Amino acid sequence: MNALCDASEYEVTGATAAALAHYEESAHQLRCLVGDPLATIDRALAAAPDMAMAHALRAWLHLLGTEPGALPEARASAARAGRLAATERERLHAQAAGLVAGGRWRDGARALEDLSARYPRDLLALQAGHQVDFFTGDARMLRDRIARALPHWSADVPGYHAVLGMHAFGLEETGDYLHAEREGRRAVELQPRDTWAWHAVAHVCEMRNAPADGIAWLEPNSAHWATDSFFAVHNWWHLALFLLEQDRHDDVLALYDRAIGGPASGVVLDLIDQSALLWRLLLRGVDVGDRWQPLADRWAPAADGGNYAFNDLHAMMAFVGAGRADGEARVLAAQRAAMAGDGDNRAFTAEVGHAAALALQAFGRGDYASAVRLLRPIRSHAHRFGGSHAQRDLLDLTLVEAALRGGDPVLGGALAAERVALRPASPFARRLFARAGGAATA
């Protein structure tokens, strides 16, 4: 019997034609961040329980949301994939997924790097590696992992749009905005449902401080990137940042209520965006009413997770905003346990996450000097605990605000001047500088 092959013409063992069709649909959903790829891959496994790549994809689906409660399923699926693997590619997928499920993010990223070097058209390996690079803050590999595979791809290969979209995001995170925008727009032309490509161009607009361009890119096209997309909240968050930059605070709150926090998603990646937006409003002195309280309720089940420091930081925002000292204590206890344990999150937390969480707690208590003291040493290497430049900007915003509120007004003036240099057209940056007065030269 001839072995079945996937859309990239790589062998898949243990599959049936029906299972392979479900597998390809799940992979497409993951590439575009739409639909319910987990339900679809479970249909594949119902049709072919011994399909190794279906178990590998299922493992990645449980890993790439960074949900602490999903880790047991991820480990089980990775182990099952490993037992069933009959090809080198399947074994490498199982190995990489097992490493990430065990908290060894960087080793998993390297295993996926080797996999992609051998099988450059394995789009699942590229996408899983791209996401792990994002979670570990490895901007260079966000770009170069995809660049290495590009010679093996063309527009006539299924999924090419996703390769362009991922490369666009890597280019943006390494500062090549012109090239990033060009590739991101091309990806969307090829596949209008590619939510990651829409997101890559939104990042370009954010880093260029071009809010009008960002609004024009996202707002009229939401039917493409928001409909049935499990990444929609993040792109709504990007739209909210553009509105915020235009000082449209009422519109930001309305968008939060309609599409970001109001729907009450408890998915961790959505909770991160909810926290990040309300914290930015807090730094601006905008009254957000009682929105912190339900957000803190949604974060409560994950407060003890301790599996990813970037998540811990955003849980801390919610608990500080809601005045939940018990939640703050739970986050810090989970971080201390992480720093005493194994795995890469030990370093993510020790190098950046713990100090950042303590700084936000201090800021919420009005101890601005401590917030400044804790944030200054980590701001230049904050990428080590993951996220994008746009997301980590929140640490710089908190630092300058803490300095201006009393921690160190001279530093506040210097930081405000730095921000004006980066965003000369930004009204908010100019207001920060105006608040500093002559402190920068005192």
* Cα gap 25→41, rounded to integer Å: 8
For the cut 60, the answer to whether the pLDDT of residue 439 exceeds it is no
Confidence of residue 441 (pLDDT cuts 50, 70, 90): very low
* Cα gap 226→151, rounded to integer Å: 31
For residue 3, the model assigns a pLDDT of 81
Asked if 348 and 137 count as a contact pair (C-beta separation under 8 A), the reply is: no
CA angle in degrees (0–180, nearest 5) for 308-380-109: 40
CA angle in degrees (0–180, nearest 5) for 165-7-158: 35
pLDDT tens, 317-341?
Answer: 999 999 999 999 999 999 999 999 9
- Per CATH, the number for 153-263 is 1.25.40.10
- Per CATH, the number for 1-135 is 1.25.40.10
| Secondary structure of residue 12 in the 3-state scheme | strand
* Cα gap 62→33, rounded to integer Å: 14
Is 1-135's fold the same as 153-263's? yes
pLDDT tens, 222-247?
Answer: 999 999 999 999 999 999 999 999 99
For residue 407, the model assigns a pLDDT of 76
pLDDT tens, 248-274?
Answer: 999 999 999 999 999 999 999 999 999
DSSP assignment, residue 403? I
Asked if 295 and 275 count as a contact pair (C-beta separation under 8 A), the reply is: yes
For residue 438, the model assigns a pLDDT of 52
Confidence of residue 58 (pLDDT cuts 50, 70, 90): very high
Neighbouring C-beta atoms of residue 371, cutoff 10 Å: 27
Domain boundaries defined on the chain: 1-135, 153-263, 270-407
